[in-house]
Amino acid sequence: MTRRENMLRAARRQEHQWITLDFGMSPKALAAFHAMTGPEVNHCEYFNFDGQWLGAKASNQAVPDWKKLYFPEGSIPDNAVIDPEWGYAEAYLEETDDASIFPPLRNISTEREVDEYPWPDVGMAYRYEGLAGKVNEFQEAGYPVFVSGSDFFESIWHLRGFDTLMLDMAEGSAVAKHLFMRMSEIQIRRAEQAARTGADILQTGSDVATQRGLLMSPAMWREYIFPMMRDCIAAAKRIKPDILVLYHSCGNVTDLIDGLIEAGVDILDPCQPEAMDIFELKRRYGKVLSFHGGIGVQSVLPFGDTQEVRDMVRKTIDIMAEGGGYLCGASHTIRHEIPMENLLAFVETVREYGEPPEN
């Protein structure tokens, strides 16, 4: 069985031969990893991940003068970097290994200003030229391929500001509705282009929850976000009916799972065990939904010893992988607080359940 066959069987809740594995790493965690391995080592190759991840090309459209348009002198920190495509500014915070976002559309008040924003060409066909060939090349080599697809919430609040957008949505403002309409047009095109590549798994999502519960009511989620999600997934599956859709949201999304399934989601990510009872979710939804992630990064991985890590990983796999439907990974980015010995124990324990073939 190839890596591709194995992962797709697992994702479709069928019998498979080994447990798949992947995870991301923060800049500080990568620095610690490279201190151990050397600076040129790719962590995906080092840990023998099962899949390949691809995305669209960079834009060739002219970069707007974002500062002139939206950021008056002194309105963003000196270390802020403006995203050339979307126009939001991002200031990295070394002490937290995270970043602050400064939105370009925080001060607009009309639908006309939404239309005047220089919308990026993320769904244009030229951005995906040659990607189908790369997808096919990896698939022929036995790898499953993930292609990044639609975003349903974060890209909007990056433009408007989180607090401002939430107030807009609560008030039912015309600006919010128009923002979601314009974003939906773009994200549907992205989903269609990603599906045309022949990719196996379409990566979608947006964080819509805290660890205690949703950022908004289920009714508000269904009014604003569900239609875009449903339409994007339907557009992708019209082009490639067997494409699997992975949806990412951190936090406790338990109250949305029926809606996610209704929208066409096949795989839920990242399944934070500190936020949700993932074993109960497996029991309730394991016949219709698969799960990716599940290895918590806030409890045992950073604070346990290697034996506690091994015990936790084994328990998670034994429950979540029963009957298929589980792709193993960290429940969020691996951060620098996690000791390298614990990360290695995590990987070694997953591989006790079988090794991928050499390619």
Nearest C-alpha neighbor of 43 from the set 19, 26, 58: 26
Distances (CA, A) of 48 to 35, 43, 145, 189, 240: 19, 8, 15, 33, 28
CA 206 to chain centre: 7
* 89-93 and 98-102 strand pairing: antiparallel
Q: Which amino acid is at 160?
A: R
Task: Determine the pLDDT at residue 359.
Answer: 66
How would you label 170-209 residue by residue, b for 16+ Cβ within 10 Å and e otherwise?
eeebebbbbbbebbbebbbbbbbbbbbbbbbbbbbbbebb
Neighbours of 306 (CB within 10 A): 16
Task: Determine the pLDDT at residue 99.
Answer: 85
Task: Determine the pLDDT at residue 302.
Answer: 97
Per-residue pLDDT of the chain in tens (359 residues, 90 and over written 9): 999 999 999 999 999 999 999 999 999 999 999 999 999 999 999 999 999 999 999 999 999 999 999 999 899 999 999 999 999 999 988 777 778 999 999 999 999 999 999 999 999 999 999 999 999 999 999 999 999 988 999 999 999 999 999 999 999 999 999 999 999 999 999 999 999 999 999 999 999 999 999 999 999 999 999 999 999 999 999 999 999 999 999 999 999 999 999 999 999 999 999 999 999 999 999 999 999 999 999 999 999 999 999 999 999 999 999 999 999 999 999 999 999 999 999 999 999 999 998 76
| Cα–Cα dist 263/235, whole Å | 11
**pTM (2 d.p.):** 0.95
**What φ, ψ does residue 25 adopt, rounded to 5°?**
-135, 140
- First and final CA of the chain: distance in angstroms? 12
| Cα–Cα dist 214/217, whole Å | 7
Task: Determine the pLDDT at residue 229.
Answer: 97
The residues pairing with 102 across neighbouring beta strands, listed in sequence order, are 89
